[in-house]
Structure 1
Amino acid sequence: MFALPFIRRETRALEGEKVRLRLPQIGDYREWAELRAASRAFLEPWEPRWMPDELERTAWRLRINHYRQDHAQGCAMAFFIFEKCHGKLAGGITLGNIRHGVSRSAQIGYWIGQPYGGQGLMTDAVKTLSRFAFGELKLHRIEAACIPENIRSVRVLEKAGFRREGLLRSYLKINGIWQDHYLYARIVDDDLPAM
């Protein structure tokens, strides 16, 4: 495969008001594994079922290789979210299913470690990634889906200027169960809320 021109291999870090987004690196393993392990009960209701080796180093290497392949192919970009004030890993955000041509769209997915919830970091990360997607990648539409009961995620998307467009029935298998999801979207012409 070859790298598509709209995603540079040396993608720079993205700076928000409260967060810094950068591509995951192999050396992030320990901090990532510790945060995910400490936040497991907080994250599991909203994520696909965790594999038995979810936090093992071998699975981590496969994850990093997957991130790099997706990036090289131009179909997805995974970022880690670091809080600006202390530089600690707080979560992750991905711009996935990137499509150009007549669609020029993508989907956002994200997670945040339990100690960092409720601090506005994810809202800032979604706004920062949206600016990058609309600006540098020249996308027209960004979508995000969340389980209706995930009130925190609903608030993040609405504060970041996403609008609810409907309900996707039995959309994703989350924690072993097919779940309905609200579909949210932003288009490039929507006003982006202030930082």
Structure 2
Amino acid sequence: MNDAGERIQLKLLNVEDAEILLDLQLRNMAVFEEISASDRSDTFYTLEGQVAILERWAKAREEEKRYSFGIFLKATQELIGEISLFELVLDHTDKWIVGYVLDQGHNGKGYMSEALQMVLKFAFDEAGIKRVEAGALPDNIGSIRVLRKAGFQEIGRQNIKIKGKWKEHVMFAVDCPERA
């Protein structure tokens, strides 16, 4: 999917995007590390590390297990964030999770709300996903606002490991709307 909204465009990320993705990660390292459950070892912050991640994401996309999109400003084509849908199996139950990061210089401008609406449309209309879940740290008011604006409802709390420590997250879910 290459989908354009009012101010942003979503593009599936590929290996060719490794340099710009690395730049986004490096510019926002301190903030992203505080919220990300993914492995952020030293190799993560290398071009080779980003290429390896993008190769894994491409394989998972072929298997219909992950869809990772770059969030690009339409006006400049600058990569300002990343949003992914990925399937996890927890307690023998398949769950689709949405995770996202946005360049800190672009927070509070509505870009992530626009991106999340586009990704949910893709999930429900194109990928056949019936339910999407997400988690946010309780003090991440901006992320919680984005989720609620997109129709997510709070479903409980869950501990998620961030930088080797368990941190409580508020969990949210949204179901595919019934089609008439």
Deviation at 1:85? 2.1
Verify: 1:19 aligned to 2:8, yes or no.
Answer: yes
Q: Residue by residue, what CA displacement relative to the aligned partner does 1:57-85 show, whole Å, maximum 9, x if unpaired?
A: 21112111101110111111111111122
Structure 1 residues 44 and 105: alpha-carbon distance in aligned structure 2, compared to 1, 3 A threshold: closer
- Identity percentage of aligned residues: 28
What is the SS of the residue equivalent to 2:156? strand
- Of 152, 158, 164 in structure 1, the residue corresponding to residue 142 of structure 2 is 152
Larger helix percent: 2
Rounded to whole Å, the distance in 2 between the matches of 1:27 and 1:138 is: 27
Deviation at 1:145? 1.0
Deviation at 1:129? 0.3
Deviation at 1:104? 8.3
Deviation at 1:105? 5.5
Which region of structure 1 is more displaced relative to structure 2, 67-76 or 90-99?
Answer: 90-99
The equivalent of 2:43 in structure 1 is 53
Q: Residue by residue, what CA displacement relative to the aligned partner does 1:120-171 show, whole Å, maximum 9, x if unpaired?
A: 1111111100011111122221111111121111111111111111112x2x
Q: TM-score, normalised by structure 2?
A: 0.88
Whether contact under 8 Å (1:93, 1:111) holds in the other structure is yes
Whether contact under 8 Å (2:15, 2:55) holds in the other structure is no
Amino acid at match of 1:42: V
- Of 13, 30, 46 in structure 2, the residue corresponding to residue 41 of structure 1 is 30
Larger strand percent: 2
Where does 1:1-195 land on structure 2 (aligned, <5 Å)?
12-48=1-37, 50-97=40-87, 106-168=96-158, 170=159, 172-189=160-177
Structure 1 residues 104 and 63: alpha-carbon distance in aligned structure 2, compared to 1, 3 A threshold: closer
What is the SS of the residue equivalent to 1:86? coil
Rounded to whole Å, the distance in 1 between the matches of 2:99 and 2:32 is: 13
